[in-house]
Amino acid sequence: MTNKSKQKHLQYIGTVVQSKGLKGEIKIAFEPDFMTFLDYQQPTHLYIANKMAKVPYFVQAISKPDGKGLYTLSLEEVDSKEMAEQLNRKEVFFETKLLEKFWDEHPELEEEDESWDFLIGYTLIDSDDNRIGTIANIYSVGESELAAVEYQGREVLVPLHESLVVLLDEDEEILVMELPEGILEL
Protein backbone atom coordinates (compact mmCIF):
# COMPACT_ATOMS: atom_id res chain seq x y z
CA MET A 1 0.00 0.00 0.00
CA THR A 2 1.41 3.39 -0.96
CA ASN A 3 1.31 6.59 1.03
CA LYS A 4 -1.28 7.77 -1.47
CA SER A 5 -3.96 5.50 -0.01
CA LYS A 6 -3.13 5.20 3.71
CA GLN A 7 -4.96 8.31 4.90
CA LYS A 8 -8.40 8.79 3.35
CA HIS A 9 -8.77 12.34 4.67
CA LEU A 10 -5.82 13.38 2.51
CA GLN A 11 -5.61 13.11 -1.26
CA TYR A 12 -2.43 12.90 -3.36
CA ILE A 13 -2.10 16.09 -5.43
CA GLY A 14 1.47 16.09 -6.74
CA THR A 15 5.18 15.70 -6.14
CA VAL A 16 7.96 18.08 -5.16
CA VAL A 17 10.25 18.07 -8.19
CA GLN A 18 13.13 20.24 -6.99
CA SER A 19 14.25 23.12 -4.83
CA LYS A 20 14.64 26.56 -6.37
CA GLY A 21 16.98 29.33 -5.37
CA LEU A 22 18.56 30.02 -1.98
CA LYS A 23 15.46 31.06 0.00
CA GLY A 24 13.81 27.63 0.28
CA GLU A 25 11.36 27.73 -2.60
CA ILE A 26 10.25 24.43 -4.13
CA LYS A 27 8.84 23.41 -7.51
CA ILE A 28 5.86 21.06 -7.52
CA ALA A 29 4.28 19.06 -10.34
CA PHE A 30 0.57 19.04 -9.46
CA GLU A 31 -2.08 16.63 -10.71
CA PRO A 32 -4.38 18.16 -13.41
CA ASP A 33 -7.44 18.28 -11.10
CA PHE A 34 -5.50 20.20 -8.47
CA MET A 35 -4.22 22.65 -11.10
CA THR A 36 -7.87 23.42 -11.89
CA PHE A 37 -8.47 23.99 -8.16
CA LEU A 38 -5.49 26.42 -8.14
CA ASP A 39 -7.05 28.43 -10.96
CA TYR A 40 -9.82 29.38 -8.49
CA GLN A 41 -8.20 29.51 -5.07
CA GLN A 42 -4.85 29.37 -3.34
CA PRO A 43 -4.52 26.79 -0.58
CA THR A 44 -3.44 28.09 2.81
CA HIS A 45 -1.68 24.81 3.55
CA LEU A 46 -0.75 21.41 2.17
CA TYR A 47 0.91 18.24 3.42
CA ILE A 48 4.24 16.77 2.36
CA ALA A 49 5.02 13.13 3.13
CA ASN A 50 8.16 12.12 4.93
CA LYS A 51 9.05 8.62 6.12
CA MET A 52 6.92 8.84 9.26
CA ALA A 53 3.90 11.05 8.45
CA LYS A 54 2.37 13.69 6.25
CA VAL A 55 3.59 17.00 7.62
CA PRO A 56 1.45 20.15 7.24
CA TYR A 57 3.06 23.26 5.75
CA PHE A 58 1.54 26.72 5.46
CA VAL A 59 1.77 28.21 1.96
CA GLN A 60 3.20 31.73 1.89
CA ALA A 61 3.19 32.18 -1.88
CA ILE A 62 2.47 30.18 -5.01
CA SER A 63 3.34 31.17 -8.57
CA LYS A 64 1.58 30.51 -11.84
CA PRO A 65 2.98 27.45 -13.62
CA ASP A 66 6.20 27.79 -15.58
CA GLY A 67 6.71 26.51 -19.13
CA LYS A 68 7.00 22.94 -17.83
CA GLY A 69 3.77 23.18 -15.83
CA LEU A 70 5.59 23.38 -12.48
CA TYR A 71 4.45 25.70 -9.69
CA THR A 72 6.93 27.47 -7.40
CA LEU A 73 5.92 27.60 -3.73
CA SER A 74 7.24 29.34 -0.65
CA LEU A 75 6.38 27.55 2.57
CA GLU A 76 6.56 28.82 6.13
CA GLU A 77 9.56 27.46 8.03
CA VAL A 78 11.29 26.38 4.80
CA ASP A 79 13.71 29.24 4.33
CA SER A 80 16.94 27.75 2.99
CA LYS A 81 18.09 25.77 0.00
CA GLU A 82 19.09 22.90 2.31
CA MET A 83 15.62 22.68 3.89
CA ALA A 84 13.97 22.77 0.47
CA GLU A 85 16.27 20.04 -0.88
CA GLN A 86 15.05 17.72 1.90
CA LEU A 87 11.58 17.89 0.30
CA ASN A 88 12.76 16.82 -3.18
CA ARG A 89 10.79 13.91 -4.65
CA LYS A 90 8.29 13.91 -1.77
CA GLU A 91 4.58 13.33 -2.38
CA VAL A 92 2.22 16.27 -1.73
CA PHE A 93 -1.31 15.92 -0.30
CA PHE A 94 -4.35 18.09 0.38
CA GLU A 95 -7.51 17.58 2.39
CA THR A 96 -10.04 15.42 0.55
CA LYS A 97 -13.05 17.17 2.08
CA LEU A 98 -11.88 20.60 0.83
CA LEU A 99 -11.36 19.24 -2.68
CA GLU A 100 -14.75 17.49 -2.65
CA LYS A 101 -16.41 20.73 -1.49
CA PHE A 102 -14.71 22.65 -4.32
CA TRP A 103 -15.88 20.14 -6.97
CA ASP A 104 -19.40 20.09 -5.49
CA GLU A 105 -19.52 23.88 -5.80
CA HIS A 106 -18.05 23.84 -9.36
CA PRO A 107 -19.58 20.86 -11.22
CA GLU A 108 -19.15 22.69 -14.51
CA LEU A 109 -15.37 22.33 -14.19
CA GLU A 110 -15.33 18.55 -14.11
CA GLU A 111 -13.94 17.17 -17.32
CA GLU A 112 -15.81 14.58 -19.28
CA ASP A 113 -14.32 11.10 -19.20
CA GLU A 114 -11.92 11.06 -22.12
CA SER A 115 -11.00 7.41 -21.62
CA TRP A 116 -10.69 5.10 -24.59
CA ASP A 117 -11.88 2.10 -22.50
CA PHE A 118 -15.02 1.74 -24.62
CA LEU A 119 -12.76 0.43 -27.44
CA ILE A 120 -12.08 -2.89 -25.66
CA GLY A 121 -13.43 -5.59 -27.97
CA TYR A 122 -13.26 -3.39 -31.09
CA THR A 123 -11.42 -4.65 -34.18
CA LEU A 124 -8.38 -2.55 -35.09
CA ILE A 125 -7.76 -2.07 -38.80
CA ASP A 126 -4.92 -0.06 -40.31
CA SER A 127 -5.45 2.60 -42.99
CA ASP A 128 -4.46 0.06 -45.71
CA ASP A 129 -7.51 -2.04 -44.67
CA ASN A 130 -5.43 -4.75 -42.94
CA ARG A 131 -7.05 -6.36 -39.89
CA ILE A 132 -4.57 -5.97 -37.03
CA GLY A 133 -6.55 -7.66 -34.25
CA THR A 134 -9.02 -7.16 -31.41
CA ILE A 135 -8.33 -4.55 -28.75
CA ALA A 136 -7.91 -6.57 -25.54
CA ASN A 137 -7.09 -3.79 -23.09
CA ILE A 138 -6.43 -0.06 -22.73
CA TYR A 139 -3.45 1.12 -20.67
CA SER A 140 -2.97 4.63 -19.32
CA VAL A 141 0.65 5.77 -19.28
CA GLY A 142 0.93 9.31 -17.92
CA GLU A 143 -1.24 11.47 -20.17
CA SER A 144 -1.26 8.87 -22.97
CA GLU A 145 -3.40 5.82 -23.56
CA LEU A 146 -2.33 2.69 -25.42
CA ALA A 147 -4.45 -0.07 -26.97
CA ALA A 148 -3.21 -3.61 -26.35
CA VAL A 149 -3.84 -5.73 -29.47
CA GLU A 150 -2.97 -9.39 -30.13
CA TYR A 151 -1.01 -9.28 -33.40
CA GLN A 152 0.79 -12.30 -34.90
CA GLY A 153 0.85 -14.15 -31.58
CA ARG A 154 2.12 -11.28 -29.41
CA GLU A 155 0.74 -8.20 -27.69
CA VAL A 156 1.36 -4.91 -29.49
CA LEU A 157 0.73 -1.52 -27.88
CA VAL A 158 -0.74 1.11 -30.19
CA PRO A 159 -0.89 4.77 -29.11
CA LEU A 160 -4.42 6.18 -29.09
CA HIS A 161 -4.74 9.73 -30.31
CA GLU A 162 -7.56 11.46 -32.20
CA SER A 163 -5.16 12.53 -34.95
CA LEU A 164 -4.46 8.86 -35.80
CA VAL A 165 -8.12 7.80 -36.04
CA VAL A 166 -9.37 7.46 -39.62
CA LEU A 167 -12.76 5.90 -38.82
CA LEU A 168 -14.60 4.91 -35.66
CA ASP A 169 -17.65 2.75 -36.33
CA GLU A 170 -19.42 2.17 -33.01
CA ASP A 171 -22.18 0.02 -34.56
CA GLU A 172 -19.71 -2.43 -36.14
CA GLU A 173 -17.13 -1.95 -33.33
CA ILE A 174 -14.35 -1.12 -35.77
CA LEU A 175 -11.48 1.31 -35.31
CA VAL A 176 -9.47 2.27 -38.39
CA MET A 177 -6.20 4.04 -37.61
CA GLU A 178 -3.23 5.53 -39.42
CA LEU A 179 -0.60 3.55 -37.50
CA PRO A 180 2.85 5.04 -36.88
CA GLU A 181 5.47 3.41 -39.08
CA GLY A 182 7.07 0.37 -37.45
CA ILE A 183 4.66 0.29 -34.47
CA LEU A 184 3.70 -3.35 -35.16
CA GLU A 185 7.34 -4.46 -35.08
CA LEU A 186 8.03 -3.15 -31.57
What percentage of the chain reaches a pLDDT higher than 90? 61
E strand or H helix at 59: strand 54-62
Which pLDDT value is given to residue 22?
93
Enumerate the CATH 2.30.30.240 domain ranges in the chain, comma separated: 117-180
Which pLDDT value is given to residue 115?
73
Top CATH class of 117-180 equals mainly beta
| Interatomic CA distance for residues 14 and 78, integer angstroms | 18
Enumerate the CATH 2.40.30.60 domain ranges in the chain, comma separated: 3-109
Which pLDDT value is given to residue 2?
41
| Residues of the chain scoring pLDDT < 50 | 1-6
Which pLDDT value is given to residue 6?
47
Q: Is the pTM of this model over 0.85?
A: no
Whole-angstrom CA distances from 127 to 144, 166, 185 are: 21, 7, 17
- On whether the CB atoms of residues 60 and 74 are closer than 8 A, the answer is yes
Top CATH class of 3-109 equals mainly beta
Which pLDDT value is given to residue 101?
94
pLDDT tens-digit map of 110-141: 665 567 888 999 999 999 999 999 999 888 77
| Interatomic CA distance for residues 131 and 159, integer angstroms | 17
| Interatomic CA distance for residues 105 and 72, integer angstroms | 27
